[in-house]
């Protein structure tokens, strides 16, 4: 996905030739209708899940059944609060507001201010999105970036940052130490703390350093804070906190999702907030482009953002699973790296991650191989805490040889 | 918005210079972050609703209150069937399928086949969308169209066809008689029957002629059939009907919405179906781009597409309003054109539509001036049937001088 490993540097430049070679290995076909089209479908990376089909089959054959820790899809119930709000809003014949209901925008601003200590975020600097994956994927396009622009994202990362750059036709480069970019002047820098997949949590000083670097070059900083509610050995900090933003959201966009916070992935609910002018631009385009969060989902978001109790309930669930799974992995010879935050354990046996994948599949445990997230991560695997207590207990027992 | 009127022809070429002049007259600002960006927000047309603010204020001052027929937002209740399905699906912690649940894809294919007599539409040639406005706005981009491509849409039209071409950076041209395009070879041709705003219903022969023309030139035909359930003096025909498609959906995309069919605009529910390879391309990109219909909404769609009774109830509501409003307009000196289908009356007094707007505002009735839909329509106004029976009755009484 990037050349970080092969170049021997921490920089990985992702060019169109690599995108094409990915496409060449894919079975996807572009229709012959309207010839001369770009064929965007073929430029995008393959969905790699097919490559773990054999491991999945092996894990499924375990006499006590598969423990699927590969995909981070929440399994605990959507909170009662959300369900009740959805039901109350079920009569919604008319068009919703793209900007979000006034109560929702106020609620987002209040949540960022009270929960995250954000400074200077008014309601009109917030915008609901149809789950944050669409915002991540479309942000470079919505910002009007193109072939003359460069997007920077972490070396080991959620694949959608690259997808977003590819859709917009931008250059993309992976980098964790921005100083290595030298004279390059990116238009957009992605930060993701806690990280998917590594669980790394960046401190306020490191975040502030990145913001300062980007501001000096006129780059927008987008901070994917979707796992922010889950800090374990470190407390996540929002990019909008004054220790990072220096009190001003100018040039900054914080991206939040309710999928993990509130077991709400099925509803597609998230928001972006920060720089008022940038948010205004996004809104202007999204109004024309019909990117509207359904009215009942907006009502649910209002209720959930005002409540922290259900988040604490979910935190305790993940914490308990983590306490079971982490020592079991360590007892089985795994080393856990980072994982200070988020809903994954990032583990290695210092061997090819595909070998680890197979080993765990033999125990009936399915994981995501590190190479899904970039070549620098090929010796790791990602284990999600999004399985039931019963399944996590089973995995821990199998790892401990009990 | 297009130069159809000023060129004296039925062709209106919409170039970037005109888009810029639209932008120049707008108050929208592009942030100075990440300089050198395209500033897409400024390229898009203005939302013209501000221009009827005075008329709105006048109408609101009517002693019996405003009758707002300007925006076509459904006001009748979301069907019980939909609300019950939403409630049943409220526990949705995990990620939904971008492709749609198997039951949903089957349900869409069955609806198209049984209701519309579509030929050759399998479930995997269908795809749910987050309301059809987003599909209309993103289709040229998702198809990989760009500056070398041309999008054709009707002379008097829903503004989002132009928005879609603008976002993708395509050329755009308005045209109702494709033969006038001469040697031009568009990549995408939009059809909209029943039309928003005119209510014109195109017969199977005319649709077939357009499909044949497009197929001979390799153009994709996208048919916006969002008002299809509402035919009055003419029966709408789907582009996927064999009398139009010649039995094959190749090169064709039918676009359907549940917003008007099922008073569901608040839920954002629609679908696209037709050419399997094109739908497959759209799906491949939309999976990466996170354009996912929420799980509870997918469940609602399954229920609603299998039911025609609630549609018949709604048809009767609009028919009754139409029977009240149409003769009242005629008695007040209006001529109704087209309006054979859809949920609007397309009316003229053969004067500047802004003058008609003011006249009606004086009666407390707010309408949309025809110029919202292109310069060729500047002597018309659009009246929506999406107001309560009580308000439509009030409008009819005011028009009749009672």
Tell which residue, B307, B306, B302, B308, has the closest CA to residue B97: B302
Question: pLDDT for A63-105, tens place per residue?
Answer: 999 999 999 999 999 999 999 999 999 999 999 999 999 999 9
Pick left, alpha or beta for residue B182 (phi over 0 → left; psi -120 to 50 → alpha; otherwise beta): left
Nearest residue to B202 via CA among B342, B386, B32, B335: B342
B263 sits in the region (left: phi over 0; alpha: psi -120 to 50; else beta) called left
Name the pairing type of β-strands A270-274 and A126-129. antiparallel
- Report the run of H or E that residue A301 belongs to, with start and end: helix A295-305
Q: A334 — alpha (psi -120 to 50), left (phi > 0) or beta?
A: beta
Q: Does B136 touch chain A (CB under 8 A)?
A: yes
The pair of structure tokens assigned to B387 is 């107001």
Q: What secondary structure letter does DSSP report for B47?
A: P
Minimum Cα–Cα distance from A85: chain B residue: B90
Nearest to B365 by CA among B329, B319, B340: B329
| Number of CB atoms found within 10 A of residue B297's CB | 31
CA dist A383 → A198, A199, A343 (Å): 10, 11, 9
Geometric angle at alpha carbon B340, from B69 and B389, rounded to 5°: 35
Exposure string over B161-198, b if 16+ CB within 10 A, otherwise e: bbbbbbbbbbbbbbbbebeebeebbbbbbbbbbbbbbb
Strands (E), A225-330: 252-257, 270-274
> Residue A6: its pLDDT value, please?
30
Beta pairing, strands A270-274 & A252-257 = antiparallel
Vertex B108: Cα angle to B101 and B258 (nearest 5): 100
Give the sign of the dihedral formed by CA B380, CA B385, CA B389, CA B391.
Answer: negative
Strands (E) located in B106-204: 126-129, 150-153, 171-174, 188-192
Here the tokens at position A365 are 């445990």
Q: What percent of chain A has pLDDT over 90?
A: 88
Provide the chain A residues 256-295 that lie in CB contact (below 8 A) with chain B: 259, 263-268, 275, 277-278, 280-281, 284-285, 287-295
Question: Diameter of chain B by CA atoms?
Answer: 60
Q: Which residues contact B50 (CB under 8 A, 6 or more apart)?
A: none
- List of long-range contacts for B389-394, beta carbons under 8 Å, 24+ apart: B389/B317, B389/B320, B389/B321, B391/B67, B391/B68, B392/B67, B392/B321, B392/B324, B392/B325, B393/B324, B394/B64, B394/B65, B394/B67, B394/B364
> What's the pLDDT at A38?
86
pLDDT at A23: 34
Domains and CATH numbers, chain B: 48-77+310-399 (3.90.1150.10), 83-306 (3.40.640.10)
Query: What pLDDT is attached to residue B4?
Result: 33
Backbone angles phi, psi at B398, to 5 degrees: -65, -40
Measure in Å the smallest separation between the Cα of A237 and chain B Cα atoms: 23
Residue with tokens 């990280």: A195
Contacts of B330 (CB under 8 A, 6+ apart): B336
| Eight-class DSSP state of B267 | G
Strands (E), B195-314: 220-224, 252-257, 270-274
- Integer Cα distance of A286 and B43 in angstroms: 13
Alpha carbon distance B121, B256 (integer Å): 14
CA distance B167 to B148: 14
Look-up of token digits 């549609």: B311
Sort out which chain B residues have CB atoms less than 8 A from A87's CB and list them.
86-87, 90
As a whole number of angstroms, the distance between CA B298 and CA B194 comes to: 26
Residue among B166, B153, B175, B196 at smallest CA distance from B45: B166
Instruction: Report the gap between the CA of B136 and the closest CA in chain A (Å).
Output: 8
pLDDT at residue A41, rounded to an integer: 87
How many whole angstroms from its chain centre is CA A179? 24
Q: How far is CA B87 from the centre of its chain?
A: 29
The length of chain B, given as a count of residues: 402
- Among A37, A41, A74, select the one facing B284 at the smallest CB separation: A41
User: Of A36, A288, A295, which has the smallest distance from its Cβ to B163's Cβ?
Assistant: A288
Are the Cβ atoms of B290 and A134 closer than 8 angstroms? Answer: yes
Rg of chain A, C-alpha, whole Å: 21
- Chain B residue numbers with beta carbons less than 8 Å from the beta carbon of A263 are 93
Mean pLDDT of chain A: 93
Edge-first strand listing for the sheet containing B188-192: B12-14, B171-174, B150-153, B188-192, B220-224, B252-257, B270-274, B126-129
Write the DSSP symbol of residue B48. G
Look up the pTM and report it. Answer: 0.94
Q: Which chain A residues touch B87 with a CB distance below 8 Å?
A: 86-87, 90
Six-digit token string for B344: 């609007």
- Flag whether residue A388 sits within 8 Å of chain B, measured between CB atoms: no
* Residues contacting A167, CB < 8 A, separation 6+: A40, A44, A137, A138, A140, A141, B141, B285, B288, B289
> Closest Cα of chain B to A400: distance in Å?
29
pLDDT per residue of chain B (402 residues) written in tens, 0 to 9: 343 333 333 454 553 333 333 333 334 568 999 988 988 988 998 878 889 999 999 999 999 999 999 999 999 999 999 999 999 999 999 999 999 999 999 999 999 999 999 999 999 999 999 999 999 999 999 999 999 999 999 999 999 999 999 999 999 999 999 999 999 999 999 999 999 999 999 999 999 999 999 999 999 999 999 999 999 999 999 999 999 999 999 999 999 999 999 999 999 999 999 999 999 999 999 999 999 999 999 999 999 999 999 999 999 999 999 999 999 999 999 999 999 999 999 999 999 999 999 999 999 999 999 999 999 999 999 999 999 999 999 999 999 987
Distance CA B194, CA B307 (A): 21
Selected residue of A76, A289, A301, A318 to mutate for chain B interface (largest B Cβ count, 10 A): A289
User: Which residue, A243, A268, A244, is CA-closest to A258?
Assistant: A268
Contact (CB<8Å) B144/A39: yes
Q: What is the pLDDT of residues A133-174, one digit of tens each?
A: 999 999 999 999 999 999 999 999 999 999 999 999 999 999
Per the structure block, which two tokens stand in for A318? 């993940």
3-state secondary structure of B207: helix
For residue A159, give the nearest of A10, A48, A70 by alpha carbon: A48
Residues of chain A under the 50 pLDDT cut:
1-10, 12, 15-27
- H or E element at residue A19: helix A16-24
Shortest Cα distance, chain B CAs vs residue A117, angstroms: 24
Distance CA B245, CA B252 (A): 8
């Amino acid at each position: 996905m990037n050349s970080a490993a092969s170049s021997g540097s921490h920089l990985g430049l992702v060019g169109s030739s690599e995108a094409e070679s990915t496409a060449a290995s894919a079975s996807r076909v572009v229709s012959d209708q309207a010839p001369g089209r770009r064929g965007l479908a073929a430029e995008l990376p393959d969905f790699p899940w097919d490559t773990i089909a054999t491991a999945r089959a092996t894990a499924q054959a375990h006499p006590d059944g598969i423990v699927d820790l590969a995909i981070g899809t929440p399994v605990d119930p959507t909170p009662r609060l959300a369900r009740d709000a959805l039901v109350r809003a079920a009569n919604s014949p008319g068009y919703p507001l793209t900007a979000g209901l006034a109560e929702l925008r106020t609620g987002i601003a209040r949540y960022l201010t009270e929960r995250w200590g954000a400074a200077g975020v008014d309601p009109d600097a917030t915008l609901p999105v149809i789950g944050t994956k669409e915002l991540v994927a479309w942000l470079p396009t919505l910002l009007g970036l193109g072939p003359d622009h460069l997007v920077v994202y972490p070396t080991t990362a959620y694949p959608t940052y690259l997808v977003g750059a590819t859709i917009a036709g931008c250059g993309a480069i992976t980098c964790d130490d921005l100083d290595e970019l030298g004279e390059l002047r990116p238009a957009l820098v992605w930060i993701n703390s806690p990280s998917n997949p590594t669980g790394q949590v960046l401190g306020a000083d490191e975040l502030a350093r990145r913001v300062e670097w980007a501001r000096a070059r006129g780059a927008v900083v987008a901070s994917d804070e979707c796992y922010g509610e889950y800090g374990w050995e470190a407390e996540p900090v929002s990019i909008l906190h004054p220790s990072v933003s220096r009190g001003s959201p100018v040039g900054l966009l914080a991206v939040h999702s309710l999928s993990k916070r509130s077991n709400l992935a099925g509803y597609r609910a998230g928001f972006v907030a920060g720089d008022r002018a940038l948010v205004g631009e996004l809104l202007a385009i999204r109004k024309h482009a019909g990117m509207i969060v359904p009215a009942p989902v907006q009502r649910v978001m209002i209720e959930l953002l005002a409540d922290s109790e259900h988040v604490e309930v979910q935190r305790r669930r993940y914490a308990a699973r983590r306490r079971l799974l982490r020592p079991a992995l360590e007892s089985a010879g795994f080393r856990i790296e980072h994982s200070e935050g988020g809903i994954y354990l990032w583990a290695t046996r210092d061997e090819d991650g595909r070998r680890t994948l197979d080993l765990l599949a033999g125990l009936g445990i399915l994981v995501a191989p590190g190479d899904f997230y970039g070549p620098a991560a090929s010796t790791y695997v990602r284990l999600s805490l999004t399985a039931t207590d019963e399944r996590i207990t089973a995995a821990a027992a199998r790892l401990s040889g009990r």
